[in-house]
Chain A
Amino acid sequence: MTATITETKTGWPDRINEAARKLTQGYALVVIIAFAASLAVGLLILAALGVSPWQALSVMINGAFGSRMAIGDTLVFMTPRLMTALAALIAIRCGFYNLGAEGQLQLGAVGAVLPATMLPHSLGLLLLPISLISGAIFGALWGLIPAVLKLWRGANEIIVTLMMNFIGIYFVKYLVEGPLQPAGSNFNMSAKIANAAQLPLLLPGTRLHLGAVIAVVTAALLWFLLYHSTFGIRLRAAGLSPRAARLQGMPLSRLILSSMLISGAIAGVGGAIEVLGVQYRLIEGFSSDFGFDGLAVALLGGLEPLGAVIVALYFGAINSGTIALQSVLSIPSAMAMIMSGLPILFLATIQGFRLVKGRK
């Protein structure tokens, strides 16, 4: 990254400026307040359940960061949400409201499991990249459909992407109850993938796998794409002001198609990672709403890759922290949903007030 360091001196104009704008609008502050407030409310709820908030907090922090295993779990939980968040943000930055990361993730998982279970084991280490790429392709093609429908027929992408999520979810259900269910099995899951197709574990004694690294590297690449490539600046111009971009010759349709290909591919790899790094099979309901979480992560992170990493980490920590709450203090895991839902509520409320107050 030495190249980017030399550029700091001349300034990353748009990057710094946009960050400054968000700061001056108090966005970062608002997000921090939203998170702090949700943590406080979450602990209050626990207090109401008769648990000492301080004890709960320490159990959670321990469960999320207290040991190597805890950190590994947190990162494993972060990974799919980061991938879907990145998928959502690249499309939204181009002005295309892709709410379909969940479906693209499902298809990506299908794309990964097919080669990982069916190709001859003799391919050896090639199986992993083939499965990942296949997941990316499945996700990308799934993401391309709403883009094509929009450009060709003007179909509203919000509705199409949202509905296609359910098609994706039920498609996986069909596959694992039918064609992909091993003969004689009663479980709604595919056969186990080849060992060579599994994502390598990174830290002995933890579940941490290479997928977490793939997710963070994807975030860095996306940041580079958005702020340091001509593609990224055109994509942002088209998203912010399509009419101005069009008059300066930016090919809006091509930009939307490419951003949706990238978006679908990222979500698809997210699904592939779940199969290749966590479950080692395709399982019905393997995604606990990762796609929808990802949308929340993207928006809470201000549609910035770095913001997405931070918020996804928070979501991951809440996930592993509340599992600890459940096992140590027998607190229902629904707490996790409350804790990750609250920041969105707070953020929306605070922003809503700001909007009403700031109205000219």
Chain B
Amino acid sequence: MPPDPYLTLTAITKAFTPGHPVLDNVTVAFRRGEIHAILGENGAGKSTLLNILFGMYQPDMGGILLEGREVIHRSPADAIANRIGMVHQHFKLVPTFTVAENLRLAAPPAIRPSLARNADIARLADSFGLSIDPKAIVSTLPLSLQQRVEILKALINKAELVLFDEPTTILNPAEIAAFYKVLRQIAAAGRAVVVVTHHLNEVVDHAQHASVIRRGKLISSGPVAGRAREDFVRDMVGHEVDLSAALDGTGEAPGAVRLSLQNVSVAATPSSSGLRDTSLTLRAGEVVGIAGVEGNGQRELFELVAGALTPDSGTVEAGRSHADGRPRVGLVPEDRHQEGLVLDLPIAVNLLLNKIDEAPYARAGRLNHAAITARAEEMRAASDVRSRNVHVTPRILSGGNQQKIVLARAMNEDADIIAVYQPTRGLDVAASEEILRRLRDAANGGRAVLFISSNLDEIMRISDRIIIFYAGRAVGEVNGRASREEIGALMTGGAAH
């Protein structure tokens, strides 16, 4: 007999536009001592559910029972007063303040005196297993440490239920392991923990309870023990998805060299090692995975290939170039919202952003809207972008649909190289599989694919060759069948010394 729930969301219904409920009669219960995972496709309603619990939206119907007592959260302040903490996907910190200042700002007046000295804060942080330098300016911290500050904010407010919305999308594998260690500790102290995630491994490895939402309806909610990843996927998407479907190459030897970087160097920055005298070649028909801990030169590599950066020394040569000298490459950048899309221009323009000044989309400097719309509709259909039409902006689409636009544009580039950077970040399993499938097909069709990611599982599944970056250099190369241990050792510089 499981213990009584600490908090229950009862029959929550919410519609942003009348007649189209985003949540439909959802009931879930969270227990103390448990890590409770919430799963669902992009747009299923997960964030909305947490936001309702945290007082940011009001449910149309249904309510919240806290230890059996009905409570109403009109604003986050009400939720915090009821000992609920939330760590959002986009942090709510003052970037120019120090860690200590941010924590004092968030603390209730009663607690503030006990945080007066930095040493108090350091001690408190240590006691939660969340060591951090109280004097550090938040904007200079890596995202994993900023996340710690957010968690500390919740704990200082004496949260008994802590909500996390996709906390691990910004973390690398080592940080993910450390993160769940912290969560286990928080739960072991008798608190309830809720985590929204797209990574099923995390659910199977760390959560005790999982609830699956599909298009706003609760499909299942129960203990994780005894359930496999495939079960969750079926609940999420409504049909089977083969998560280990082969993403194999054609078996033929790779073709001509499409891209070659010779001895390139780029200066280091505080957050990155830059590149140091690194060389790399990419051939037709192959997927080359770039593995490594973030900040070891991946961003510079992508920007060099994109032609957005010129190396301090060394050369970048592509088979074909644009008129302005940039290599001709189809690009899927890391930051979908800032670099991949212009969120406030229509989908049609986004799909053809790289060709908007070429015929037939433009003639003598004049846009041909008919041609743009026609081609964009074609691309939308081929890539299965789910939107009303191509005239709406991508801002209102789910992450998966946004990424389909970026990928469709990359594929539509007249290039024989495609460079992708964290292509499945924040996407649900089905959307991720689809993106991987398309990239593999592109390679099998003769293109060369550069696949930069911090998701080692994906790299291992799709790559023909894996190059490991450490401290701005390619420190090792293994073939696609190499073991995780071998790659992991190289990633931490182990085999380089």
A interface with B by C-beta (< 8 Å): 7, 10-14, 16-18, 21, 227-234, 236-237, 240-241, 243-249, 251, 360
**Do the beta carbons of A233 and B308 come within 8 Å of each other?**
no
**Do the beta carbons of B345 and A236 come within 8 Å of each other?**
yes
In the assembled complex, B231 has its CB within 8 A of some CB on chain A? no
A78, chain B: closest CB distance, angstroms: 29
Contacts of A11 in B (CB 8 A): 369, 373, 391
B330, chain A: closest CB distance, angstroms: 11
In the assembled complex, B331 has its CB within 8 A of some CB on chain A? yes
- With known contacts A230-B357, A243-B338, A237–B373 Cβ distance under 8 A: no
Please give me the 10 A-B residue pairs with the lowest Cβ-Cβ distance, nearest first: A10-B370, A230-B357, A241-B342, A13-B391, A230-B362, A248-B354, A243-B339, A248-B353, A13-B346, A17-B391
B interface with A by C-beta (< 8 Å): 51, 56, 306-308, 322, 324, 326, 331, 333, 335, 338-346, 348-349, 353-354, 356-357, 362, 365-367, 369-370, 372-373, 390-393
**Do the beta carbons of B373 and A247 come within 8 Å of each other?**
no
- With known contacts A13-B349, A248-B353, A233–B367 Cβ distance under 8 A: yes
Main secondary structure of the interface of B (DSSP, over half): loop
Contacts of A251 in B (CB 8 A): 324
Chain A: CB-nearest residue to B324: A249
B13, chain A: closest CB distance, angstroms: 20
Contacts of A12 in B (CB 8 A): 369
**Do the beta carbons of B342 and A13 come within 8 Å of each other?**
no
B80, chain A: closest CB distance, angstroms: 16
C-alpha spacing A18/B393, complex, angstroms:
8
- With known contacts A17-B393, A251-B324, A231–B365 Cβ distance under 8 A: yes
Contacts of A228 in B (CB 8 A): 366-367, 369
Contacts of A10 in B (CB 8 A): 369-370, 373
**Do the beta carbons of B367 and A229 come within 8 Å of each other?**
yes
Q: Select which of B307, B344, B366, B373 is within 8 A of A229 by beta carbon.
A: B366
C-alpha spacing A12/B345, complex, angstroms:
12
Contacts of A18 in B (CB 8 A): 344
B367, chain A: closest CB distance, angstroms: 5
Chain A: CB-nearest residue to B303: A247
User: Which of A7, A16, A17, A234 neighbours the largest number of chain B CB atoms within 10 Å of its CB?
Assistant: A17
C-alpha spacing A230/B356, complex, angstroms:
7
B103, chain A: closest CB distance, angstroms: 21
Chain A: CB-nearest residue to B376: A13
C-alpha spacing A246/B370, complex, angstroms:
26
C-alpha spacing A12/B344, complex, angstroms:
15
Q: Select which of A17, A21, A232, A240 is within 8 A of B342 by beta carbon.
A: A240
A249, chain B: closest CB distance, angstroms: 6
Chain B: CB-nearest residue to A12: B369
**Do the beta carbons of A244 and B356 come within 8 Å of each other?**
no
C-alpha spacing A228/B365, complex, angstroms:
9
Contacts of B393 in A (CB 8 A): 17, 21
Contacts of A229 in B (CB 8 A): 365-367
Contacts of B308 in A (CB 8 A): 246-247
Q: Select which of A13, A236, A240, A249 is within 8 A of B373 by beta carbon.
A: A13
Contacts of A240 in B (CB 8 A): 342-345
- With known contacts A11-B373, A17-B393, A244–B306 Cβ distance under 8 A: no
A97, chain B: closest CB distance, angstroms: 18
Contacts of A360 in B (CB 8 A): 51, 56
- With known contacts A7-B370, A14-B345, A247–B391 Cβ distance under 8 A: no
**Do the beta carbons of A243 and B366 come within 8 Å of each other?**
no
C-alpha spacing A227/B369, complex, angstroms:
10
B6, chain A: closest CB distance, angstroms: 26
Contacts of B390 in A (CB 8 A): 13
Contacts of B367 in A (CB 8 A): 227-230, 232-233
C-alpha spacing A118/B324, complex, angstroms:
45
**Do the beta carbons of A13 and B353 come within 8 Å of each other?**
no
Chain B: CB-nearest residue to A360: B56
User: Which of B51, B341, B346 neighbours the largest number of chain A CB atoms within 10 Å of its CB?
Assistant: B346
- With known contacts A233-B356, A241-B338, A7–B369 Cβ distance under 8 A: yes
C-alpha spacing A249/B415, complex, angstroms:
14
C-alpha spacing A237/B393, complex, angstroms:
13
C-alpha spacing A251/B307, complex, angstroms:
12
Contacts of A245 in B (CB 8 A): 342, 353
B156, chain A: closest CB distance, angstroms: 22
Contacts of B370 in A (CB 8 A): 7, 10
C-alpha spacing A231/B365, complex, angstroms:
7
